[in-house]
Amino acid sequence: MFVKRIIIFANGDLPNPEKARALLREDDFIIAADGGARHALALKITPNFIIGDMDSLPSTFNLKPETFIHFPKDKNETDLELAIQHALTLNPEQIIIIAALGGRIDQTLGNIALILRPSSAVLRLDDGIEEIIPCRDNVQITGAIGNTVSLIPWQGEVTGVFTENLRWHLHHETLYPDKTRGISNEMTADIATIQIRSGLLLITHRTEN
């Protein structure tokens, strides 16, 4: 099976369901990571699969048995990691994970780490208000003037950072993981571009300030 884009609903916070709905397309393949099914239910979306140990699944979900991919509660992966692993077997071009932020900080950090794995698919976290995107070479951010964009070095220094259409321009500079220089930049146009020479950069883009 080949699908172009997969949406995974995680079991974190969803601050604005209608903005999350605006991210969806008719041809999206939908996966819910266990309790993330509650967000799909609230948006009146039926997942193609629900994956996990089903310990936080809404009782109101009454779907065909083949929709559920069960795992034991005692396992080495979170439900979201299992959902991503399954999504990658479908060879998508892009995976967008909705509702992966908020709540428990350990889960949030773990969810962010999951999109940093090398993959043929582009992975990002997005809830319609805030998105998080890994950058290993270049990334284009689409938003609006005044949106907040932060550049966070991950696992070490990031060299050759070059930005376009951000208020505080970086011109082939180095960002360090123990410094906060890249936090809270601002878009000066509807599209901003970030390029790096080496390292791994975590980019956060917030549409509401």
pLDDT digits (tens, 9 = 90+) for 145-186: 999 999 999 989 999 999 999 999 999 999 999 999 999 999
* Run of H or E including 37: helix 37-42
Architecture of the CATH domain 135-206: Sandwich (2.60)
Strand order in the sheet with 158-164: 138-142, 191-195, 158-164, 171-175
Query: What is the reported pLDDT for 120?
Result: 76
pLDDT at 144 over 90: yes
**Mean pLDDT confidence for 83-100:** 94
**102 vs 169, which has greater pLDDT?**
169
Average pLDDT, the chain: 91
Architecture of the CATH domain 5-128: 3-Layer(aba) Sandwich (3.40)
**pLDDT tens digit sequence for 35-88:** 899 899 889 999 999 998 887 776 666 777 778 888 888 888 899 999 999 999
Query: What is the reported pLDDT for 204?
Result: 96
Contacts of residue 138, Cβ cutoff 8 Å, sequence gap at least 6: 193, 194, 195, 196
> b/e map of 93-104 (b: 16 or more CB within 10 Å)?
eebbbbbbbbee
pLDDT at 133 over 90: yes
Query: What is the reported pLDDT for 195?
Result: 97
CA atoms of 50 and 90, how far apart (whole Å): 15
pLDDT at 121 over 70: yes
| Pick from 99-108, 123-132, 155-164: least confident | 99-108
Query: What is the reported pLDDT for 142?
Result: 95
* Run of H or E including 206: strand 201-206
Query: What is the reported pLDDT for 97?
Result: 97
Residue ranges of domains in the chain: 5-128, 135-206
- This model's pTM is above 0.85: yes
Contact in structure between 156 and 201 (CB atoms under 8 Å): no
